[in-house]
Amino acid sequence: MNPRILSAFGRLELVVANASLVLLVVVLAAQIFFRYVLHVGLSWSEEISRFAFIWFVYISASLAAQRGTHIRVTMFVRIIPGAERYLLLLADIVWIVFNAFVVAAGLLLIQRTLKYPVYSTSLFLPLAYIYTIIPVAHALMILRIVERQWRYWRHGEPLIAGEGQAEANDKGTMA
């Protein structure tokens, strides 16, 4: 895929994640102010903050996959010296398959909630629109995993963030 398009996706993901986080903080601050200073509750603030948090988490997971900072257990990868790259590839294939299942299930969920609408309690927003983040984020994770593997196999960039730096530090201390 064109690197400019991937870069634009990365920036868009970052903007959406940051906007979700800002919205979450602003709404929670407003809720605290209204509740403890004005002694009035905001009925909609809990839903907005929850939805903003959900979007933030899902988009951030895609960003973490892009940057190689997504949580992984690498202990088993290091057991077999020389096989690390293939074991990481296998782990990413499993991760891609899992994400594909979540995309399919998420699309079915959206389809069902469009056919039989479900609305949020206080804002009466159709939850189908809130749930769109599930298949979108997992599809983006698939794209980011493939992109990261491509960069690893094509250009030798480490799959795990900081891995190249850690290896360089290890070699420097051994010399």
Confidence at residue 175, expressed as pLDDT on a 0 to 100 scale: 44
In-domain check, residue 167: no
The Cα–Cα gap between 18 and 25 comes to: 11
Note down the domain range covering 117.
3-162
* pLDDT of res. 170: 45
**Would you say residue 30 lies in a domain?**
yes
Phi, psi of 41 (to 5 degrees): -90, 150
Regions of the chain where pLDDT drops below 50:
166-170, 173-175
Number of domains composing the chain: 1
pTM for the structure as a whole: 0.81
In terms of DSSP H, where are the helices of 37-83? 45-67
Q: What is the pLDDT of residue 53?
A: 95
Q: Is residue 169 part of a domain?
A: no
Q: Please report the pLDDT score of residue 85 as a whole number.
A: 79
- Would you state the pLDDT for residue 74? 66
Decide if 168 is inside a domain.
no
Query: Could you tell me if 131 and 109 are in contact, meaning their C-beta atoms sit under 8 angstroms apart?
Result: yes
The confidence score (pLDDT) of residue 169 equals 46
**How far is residue 52's CA from residue 46's CA, in Å, rounded to a whole number?**
10
d(CA 155, CA 151): 5
Question: Does 100 reside within a domain?
Answer: yes
Query: What is the structure's pLDDT at 56?
Result: 95
Residue 170 lies in a domain: no
- Contact predicate 135/103, CB 8 Å: yes
Q: How far apart are CA 160 and CA 117, in angstroms?
A: 41
- Whether 36 is covered by a domain: the verdict is yes
For residue 171, being part of any structural domain is answered with no
d(CA 153, CA 143): 15
